[in-house]
């Protein structure tokens, strides 16, 4: 059966006309799918039971379900979602006084094997469909309204998987999230983070996307980046700089570098100097310096406070717009790099 959310409006309208129903039924169903956030045909309460049954005989309506939820002492909420066939993914609600951010996943597992990321040790099962990604945002938004009485202000594609290896579904999800007949969220409040797929970064530029882009850099020379991010062997820093410049030239959208500090690996004065050089070659708005969050398979630790401060001071002295991002949700394995579907959730 065809997934009803994979039809466009005119397809749904044509279906109702084919069964001698009024055209306005399409509007009712469309609103349930994308604005009232039905998760099954049974939710469509202004349709007759017979019509709901008829729809369920012709179309499938797979949707994500909340499988488990964990609450951090700092207010962060991690949710494990289950797909229709039982695969698990995780999303995180990160609250601050100023904003409520959803961190969403784009793949079930990941194929990139970044050494510091728990998801990188999972097998990639498949890409999430655009409607599954949409469900993540809807369910986290409902959570935010329920717990904090505020709707989401921001979305970051920094959960499980590499968004640019699920290019079409991610862009379609963002289209629905930002559509007036969807969640009607500004694309400027959405950030897509990539480990560095240069070809797809350029394609984002060519497609004139309106959202922000973040590059997970984490080392500013190829030798070190190869060691922790195998993707760098085919997408090196020079190639990524070229791709980011193309993206900016085409869109003018904000670019951020993400840089996790690892003790005695990428936190020296020389590392800071190399980071400054990369920063100066791209019209980047910001460098996010991120605390490392330990995972079971990776040998590194985070620097002490003095080491972090020295690194930050060097960047500031060299006029790099850098911000230290303290990780949220560490006590429930919800922080950057920790999403791994642990059984204890």
Report the C-alpha gap between 81 and 102 in whole angstroms: 14
Question: Are residues 289 and 272 in contact, defined by beta-carbon separation less than 8 angstroms?
Answer: no
Q: Which residues face 60 on adjacent strands?
A: 3
pLDDT at 339 over 70: no
Selection from 327, 257, 342, 341 nearest residue 293 by Cα: 327
Domains and CATH numbers, the chain: 2-60 (1.10.150.530), 65-332 (3.20.20.70)
Q: Which residues face 102 on adjacent strands?
A: 93, 155
**CA count, 13 A, side-chain hemisphere, 189:** 16
Mean of the per-residue pLDDT values of the chain: 93
SS3 helix, strand, coil % of the chain, rounded to 5? 40, 20, 40
- pLDDT (tens digit, 9 = 90+) per residue, 3-45? 999 999 999 999 999 999 999 999 999 999 999 999 999 999 9
Question: Are residues 67 and 81 in contact, defined by beta-carbon separation less than 8 angstroms?
Answer: yes
- For helices 198-206 and 237-251, give the axis angle rounded to 10 degrees: 10
At 324, list the tokens. Answer: 């230290």
State the catalytic residues: 90, 336
- pLDDT (tens digit, 9 = 90+) per residue, 172-220? 999 999 999 999 999 999 999 999 999 999 999 999 999 999 999 999 9
Question: Are residues 246 and 202 in contact, defined by beta-carbon separation less than 8 angstroms?
Answer: yes
Class of residue 329 by CB neighbours under 10 A (exposed 0-12, middle 13-18, buried 19+): buried
Question: Are residues 102 and 47 in contact, defined by beta-carbon separation less than 8 angstroms?
Answer: no
What pLDDT score does 207 carry? 98
At 195, list the tokens. Answer: 């480990």
- pLDDT (tens digit, 9 = 90+) per residue, 121-137? 888 899 999 999 999 99
What pLDDT score does 340 carry? 56
Using DSSP, state whether 78 is helix, strand or coil.
strand
Return the percentage of the chain with pLDDT > 70, whole number. Answer: 94
Report the C-alpha gap between 275 and 174 in whole angstroms: 31
At 225, list the tokens. Answer: 């980046």
What lies within 8 Å, CB to CB, of 211 at 6+ separation is 174, 187, 188, 190, 191, 192, 253
What pLDDT score does 344 carry? 42
Question: Are residues 205 and 250 in contact, defined by beta-carbon separation less than 8 angstroms?
Answer: yes
Report the C-alpha gap between 236 and 36 in whole angstroms: 44
Dihedral, 335, 340, 344, 345 alpha carbons, nearest 10: 60
Question: Are residues 194 and 163 in contact, defined by beta-carbon separation less than 8 angstroms?
Answer: yes
Number of Cβ within a 10 Å radius of residue 286: 17
What lies within 8 Å, CB to CB, of 5 at 6+ separation is 33, 61, 131
pLDDT at 345 over 50: no
Dihedral, 128, 345, 191, 207 alpha carbons, nearest 10: -10
- For residue 340, give the DSSP letter: S
Q: Is the dihedral of CA 161, 164, 165, 166 positive or negative?
A: positive
């Amino acid at each position: 059966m065809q997934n009803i959310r994979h039809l466009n409006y005119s397809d749904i309208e044509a279906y109702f006309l084919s069964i001698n129903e009024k055209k306005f039924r399409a509007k009712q169903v469309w609103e349930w799918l994308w604005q009232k956030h039905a998760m099954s045909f049974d939710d469509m309460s202004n349709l007759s039971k017979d019509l709901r049954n008829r729809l369920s005989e012709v179309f499938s309506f797979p949707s994500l379900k909340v499988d488990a939820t964990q609450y951090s002492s700092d207010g962060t909420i991690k949710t494990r979602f289950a797909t229709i066939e039982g695969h698990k993914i995780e999303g995180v609600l990160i609250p601050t006084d100023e904003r409520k951010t959803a961190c969403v996943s784009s793949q079930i597992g990941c194929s990139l094997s970044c050494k510091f990321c728990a998801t990188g040790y999972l097998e990639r099962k498949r890409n999430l469909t655009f409607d599954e990604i949409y469900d993540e945002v809807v369910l986290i938004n409902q959570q935010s309204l329920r717990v904090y009485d505020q709707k989401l202000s921001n979305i970051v594609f920094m959960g499980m998987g590499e968004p640019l290896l699920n290019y079409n579904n991610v862009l379609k999800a963002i289209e629905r999230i930002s559509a007036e007949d969807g969640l009607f969220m500004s694309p400027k409040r959405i950030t897509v983070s990539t480990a560095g797929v240069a070809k797809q970064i350029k394609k984002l530029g060519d497609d004139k996307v309106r959202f922000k882009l973040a590059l997970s850099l984490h080392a500013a020379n190829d030798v070190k980046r190869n060691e922790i991010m195998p993707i760098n062997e085919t997408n090196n820093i020079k190639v990524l700089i070229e791709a980011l410049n193309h993206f900016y030239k085409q869109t003018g959208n904000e670019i951020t570098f993400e840089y996790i500090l690892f003790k005695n690996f990428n936190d020296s004065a020389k590392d800071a100097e190399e980071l400054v050089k990369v920063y100066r070659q791209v019209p980047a708005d910001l460098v996010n310096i991120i605390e490392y969050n330990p995972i079971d398979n990776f040998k590194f630790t985070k620097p002490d406070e003095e080491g972090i401060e020295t690194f930050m001071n060097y960047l500031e002295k060299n006029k790099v717009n850098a911000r230290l991002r303290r990780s949220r949700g560490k006590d429930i394995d919800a922080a950057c790099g920790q999403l791994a579907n642990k059984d204890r959730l």
